[in-house]
């Protein structure tokens, strides 16, 4: 499981798209502790995209997780919106 875009820690827009690659389950995305409802299939069976996700000024915690053999696998990072 991997959330792309982690190198772009400084953002200018209050809306952004997030991409997750996960090869074992359908992932869940959370932004600042809130589950994001809409998930779109990507270009491959392991590619998932959330579009037009609202962020807040300052720090934002981006987290994705899914189950693998009963264990929760997590990936996360923080970004900042100017």
Check: pTM over 0.85? Answer yes or no.
yes
Question: Which residues in 30-58 are b (16+ Cβ under 10 Å) and which e?
Answer: ebeeeebeeeeeeeeeeebbbeebebeee
User: pLDDT tens digits for 6-31?
Assistant: 999 999 999 999 999 999 999 999 99
Residue 12 confidence (pLDDT)? 96
Residue 42 confidence (pLDDT)? 86
CATH classification of the domain holding 25 = 2.60.40.10
Q: What percent of the chain has pLDDT over 90?
A: 91
Residue 26 confidence (pLDDT)? 94
Number of domains in the chain: 1
User: Which domain covers residue 72, as residue numbers?
Assistant: 2-81
């Amino acid at each position: 499981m991997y959330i792309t875009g982690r190198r772009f820690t400084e953002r200018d827009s209050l809306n952004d798209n997030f991409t997750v690659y996960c090869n074992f389950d359908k992932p869940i995305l959370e932004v600042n502790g809130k589950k994001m409802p809409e998930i779109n299939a990507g270009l491959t069976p392991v590619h998932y995209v959330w579009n037009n996700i609202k962020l807040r000024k300052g720090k934002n915690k981006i987290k994705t997780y899914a189950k693998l053999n009963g264990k929760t696998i997590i990936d996360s990072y923080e970004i900042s919106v100017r």
